[in-house]
Amino acid sequence: MRTARIARKTHETDIVVEVNLDGDGSYDVSTGIGFLDHMIEQFSRHSLIDITCRITGDLHVDQHHTTEDSAIAIGQAITEALGNKAGIGRYGSAYSPMDETLARVSLDISGRPWLVWKAEFTQPRLGEMDTELFEHWFHSIAQAAGITLHVEVLYGQNNHHIIEGIYKGFARAMRQAVSPDPRKGDAIPSTKGVLGG
């Protein structure tokens, strides 16, 4: 079983994250930010990665630290669960329609973190969550998990549909990338013989 547990405690957040890359999309998420819970749950359900994510954060200050640290811990857990990445698909991509919106997410679990973000919002908040934090969440998980990540909204108007389409696309792309490819066996999916750098 490709599983991992990350516990992080700082002056800003106290986090426990557990992942199972070979799960069925079960989740137990409590960040203190309802909309962020909803998005992490969508990621779990559609990637089939089981996720437990429980955070106590300094929400009396703002949502920044909780949002950032949730992504860092999930990214670290995914990296740990992947081990040396032998036999995985490595690449993933998905078009994700949500009513009038179409998002495209492409990624490479390369060990070289990078985020290209082409998405805009017309409202400052969704629920109680600041929309500017969504880009930061994806930047943080890309850094922590060593993912080259490209996120684009091809078109769309409804802000909820835009971000939900992005998370679902990310989930489906990650599902492809972390899944074992039986033709690769235990080979590292790189001509270098190692991923990263």
pLDDT in tens, the chain (197 residues): 899 999 999 999 999 999 999 999 999 999 999 999 999 999 999 999 999 999 999 999 999 999 999 999 999 999 999 999 999 999 999 999 999 999 999 999 999 999 999 999 999 999 999 999 999 999 999 999 999 999 999 999 999 999 999 999 999 999 999 999 888 778 776 656 666 65
Q: What per-residue confidence (pLDDT) applies to 187? A: 72
The structural domains of the chain, ordered by start, are: 3-178 (3.30.230.40)
pTM of the model: 0.94
Q: What is the 3-state secondary structure (H, E, C) of the chain?
A: CCEEEEEEECCCEEEEEEEECCCCCCEEEECCCHHHHHHHHHHHHHHCCEEEEEEEECCCCCCHHHHHHHHHHHHHHHHHHHCCCCCECCEEEEEEEECCEEEEEEEECCCCCEEEEECCCCCCEECCEECHHHHHHHHHHHHHHCCEEEEEEEECCCHHHHHHHHHHHHHHHHHHHHCECCCCCCCCCCCCCCCCC
